[in-house]
Amino acid sequence: MKLWAGRFSKEADKKTNDFNSSIATDSRMYMEDINGSIGHATMLGAQGIISTEDCDIIVKELNKIRDEITAGELMIDPDAEDIHTFIEQTLTARVGDPGKRLHTARSRNDQVATDVRMYLKKECASIKAQLEELLTVLQKKKKEYSKMVMPGYTHLQRAQPITMGYHFGAYIEMFKRDVSRLEDAVERMDVSPLGSGALAGTTYPINRAMSAELLGFSGGYTQNTLDGVADRDFCAEIACAMSLIMVHLSRFSEEIILWCSWEFKFVELDDAFSTGSSIMPQKKNPDLAELIRGKAGRVFGDLNALLTMMKGLPLAYNKDMQEDKDLTFEAIDTVRMCLTAFIPMIDTMTALPENMRKAAAGGFINATDCADYLVSKGLAFRDAYKATGEIVAFCIANNYTLETLPLDEYKKICDLFDDGVYDAINLETCVKRRGLFDI
């Protein structure tokens, strides 16, 4: 029997049941649904809304049902309308009338909203732990690569000398922001909607503060019951946080893909985190990085779908909002899968410092330092910039680098040059003077 039976004179069509069902998605929240019901029943008993005896029967059996599902002894019925229906009907089938009293002063609207928040808190903690693991790996690599000079790029053109360690440090800052962003989203989400009822609260003398405390909501309970069941901002915020994680993973993956190519050859991926070709025996492909780059679009799509789904909904609950779980869960699952592959790929990656140093020696990435050298001699920066540009043009035309250009050629363009220019444009000096070796 449906939880909403009574008003209807006949059973729903099977096609309606199949289309309406969310059990395939929300069954993963069985733990949160049962814990939420235990908290609700405990509050009902404490408030005298149900008897202490009924409360004890409900709580004892719900604990048993949870343990049986976890152990695989009780299988969730795939034909159930949703996990909430399955749990309540299983309880009622076992204990009779006390089970029918569980839903007193509660709607599926506030029940679902509570379950989703509890579940997402747990999932965000899991993603945060993975990000912290990634940060540990990146910090290790940053230290390992702290002296490896490489070209820094703008517009994918060689720009100025940096170190590989400093480059990794940029991603450390990105992922630190991701951790902070998750923490912010969880803090706003950590408020209990339980007690909101369908939309207008309840006439029963419930204790919402007690329910919130029992269920571990540190922010108390929602102040407006209409918003309590209508709000899915927290889903969008988490999907946004997941999207930005994927932006950072995708950008990093793009660079790994470039660095693995023969045109760069700055790094070598471990064989365990690479694939080959079915026809070209020489190939070693960075497929994991490419998949991560591709899966970013999936997460962006989840965020866009959430926002589009919510933008035109009147208050309070609408069935459209059943989509929130599929989209938010998929975004989290995709990020988790990508981090699971990305962390060991980076951890086992080998840098090729000779190739990076050779690339840094070309492209005139020490030209700014050459101009700054002239500034130190008293020349205005714009004049120093122009003189250095003329030197670079001469080098290109005559197959020189700034390091190999004879001093007399320097002096033909600006007589302020002396032997000190060669130390000023030394790549290690350029990096050291910017303090990058020490960061």
Residues annotated as catalytic are 155, 277
Cα separation, 22 vs 90, in Å, equals: 17
* Short-list 386, 378, 388, CA closest to 410: 388
Q: Are 363 and 158 in contact (CB under 8 A)?
A: yes
Q: Are 81 and 2 in contact (CB under 8 A)?
A: yes
Q: How many CB atoms lie within 10 A of CB 233?
A: 14
Distances 303 to 28, 120, 308, 319 between C-alpha atoms, Å? 21, 15, 9, 18
Burial of 44 from C-beta contacts in 10 A (0-12 / 13-18 / 19+): buried
Distances 9 to 4, 6, 15, 97, 239 between C-alpha atoms, Å? 12, 8, 17, 24, 41
| DSSP calls for 254-276 | HHHHHHHSTTT--EE--GGG-B-
∠ CA 431-382-155 to the nearest 5 degrees? Answer: 55
